[in-house]
Amino acid sequence: MDFELSDDQVALCDGIRDLCQGRFDIDTVRGLADCDGVDRQLWGELADTGVFSLVVPEEDGGVGLGWAEAGLVFEQLGRALVPGPLVGTLLAAGVVDDSVVGLIERTDGPALVEYPDVLDALLVLDGDGVWRVDAAELSFEAAQSVDPLTPVGRVAKLPQGEQVSEETYGWANRAVYLSSALQVGLATGARELAVAYAQERQQFGKPIGQFQAIKHKCADMYSREEVARASLYYAGCVMDATMGPGLPAEPGDYLYFHGCTIERGDALGDHEHRELVRAVSGARILAAEAADHNGKDCVQVHGGMGFTWEIDAHLYLKRAWALTPCFGSLDRHAERIADMVGADPLAYTSSMG
């Protein structure tokens, strides 16, 4: 066991962070609000870097990495506040040919769709699988989003679309996992902004970070973020173990979760299912709450300035809020985990319950 990042993983994080700092500085990101959240040129650069084809096997033209790495990359994108339908576009890679792809859960009535004016296609998940709806089939009614960098539009009813996958369970878990990765990054970005301000802002003749009232708030922000990060990384490892793209079964290639051994190559059985649910829904809850609380604390540490549009604190908080309602409420995820606590193995067959 070595649960630290490998050298390659560290290099991957550094590379994406450099890309974000170079191409998605905060002024650029704020400017993306004027082009509905996505600039095709910049989006193309993300695609060319391999951000969306990370988990597509190399023989199919992808980068051939795992879900753990995808989580690390999305964490950096969240930290830099990079907007756009990142989750849908990554999951669509290798499945459809579109460049900017949204992802939504089917509802009976009207639906709110993120980034309505820039999508090539929208993937719709329901109990029967995944369906591609061409953007031309969608007509949106304008709605004002809570997050200036996550524009939304309302459709009266989602068209049926063309089926592109019969799998729902895996898609939903992957979407939840990638959203959680973005939120861990948001929690980090908000904490970094707050700590930087606490070091520089002076009151009563001292940097405010010298006062325990502020220092301890920053420490709590860091703790939430680290616990959420550990949860996310664990989920990434479990994803790779239970639904990785064609990893070979080798003798001695063991997984060890909560007291049981799994040999890779086994079908996804009850135990793996329980691990996956616990890991992904757990990361979901902790990442969403870390992003929410760190966003709020970042506003608070900035005092009056934190309540202004000028300071970036609100952008972290609003993105955290925009990403949270995704394939189940936090309460639903908590219930999902509760069903996995205790001694009785539970058969669990529906997509997200």
Partner 1 sequence: MDIRLSAEEVAFRDELRAWLGEALPTLGNPPGSDDWAARREWDMGWQRKLYDAGYAGINWPSEFGGRGSTPTEHLIFLEETTRMGAPYVGMNFVAQLHAGPTLILEATAEQQARHLPAMLKGEEVWCQGFSEPNAGSDLASLSTRAIRDGDHYVVTGQKIWTSFGHVADYCELLVRTDPEAPKHRGITWLICPMDLPGIEVRPITTVAGSSEFCEVFFDEVRIPVENRVGDENDGWRVAMVTFSFERGTAFISELLGTMNQLAEMAELARSIPRNGSTAWDDDEIRREIGRLQAEYDALWALTKRVVSQAQRTGMPGPGGSVFKLYYADVKKRMADLAHRMLERNALVLAEDSGDEQTGGDMVASRLYVLSLSIAAGTSEIQRNIIGERILGLPKER
Torsion angle defined by CA atoms of residues 35, 39, 40 and 41, in that order, rounded to the nearest 10 degrees: 140
Closest among 293, 279, 288 to 340, alpha carbons compared? 279
**Which CB atom, from 166 or from 258, has the smaller least distance to partner 1?**
258
Question: Applying CB under 8 A, which of residues 118, 279, 301, 323 lies at the interface with partner 1?
Answer: 279
Residue 281 interacts with partner 1 (CB under 8 A)? Answer: yes
C-alpha to C-alpha distance for 32 and 150, rounded to whole angstroms: 10
Site for partner 1 in 312-351 (CB under 8 A): 331, 333-343
């999951």: which residue's tokens? Answer: 91
Residue 252 interacts with partner 1 (CB under 8 A)? Answer: yes
Provide the H-helix boundaries in 201-269: 212-243
Site for partner 1 in 148-187 (CB under 8 A): none
**Which CB atom, from 156 or from 219, has the smaller least distance to partner 1?**
219
Binding mask 46-85 for partner 1 (x = CB under 8 A): ----------------------x-----------------
Residue 219 interacts with partner 1 (CB under 8 A)? Answer: yes
**Which CB atom, from 31 or from 345, has the smaller least distance to partner 1?**
345
Closest among 261, 101, 96, 256 to 178, alpha carbons compared? 101
Stretch that binds partner 1, among 16-24, 118-126, 195-203, 316-324 (CB under 8 A): 195-203
C-alpha to C-alpha distance for 277 and 243, rounded to whole angstroms: 12
Closest among 72, 291, 37 to 148, alpha carbons compared? 37
β-strand 129-134 against 162-165: which pairing, if any?
A: antiparallel
Residue 270 interacts with partner 1 (CB under 8 A)? Answer: no
Stretch that binds partner 1, among 5-13, 24-32, 54-62, 301-309 (CB under 8 A): 5-13
Residue 236 interacts with partner 1 (CB under 8 A)? Answer: yes
Count CB neighbours of 336 within 10 A.
Answer: 20
Residues 348, 273 contacting (CB under 8 angstroms): yes
């709450």: which residue's tokens? Answer: 289
* Least Å from the CB of residue 312 to partner 1: 18
Residues 175, 350 contacting (CB under 8 angstroms): no
Binding site for partner 1 (CB under 8 A): 1-6, 9, 68, 195, 198-199, 206-207, 209-212, 214-216, 218-220, 222-224, 226-228, 230-231, 233-234, 236-238, 241, 252-256, 259, 261, 278-279, 281-283, 285-286, 331, 333-343
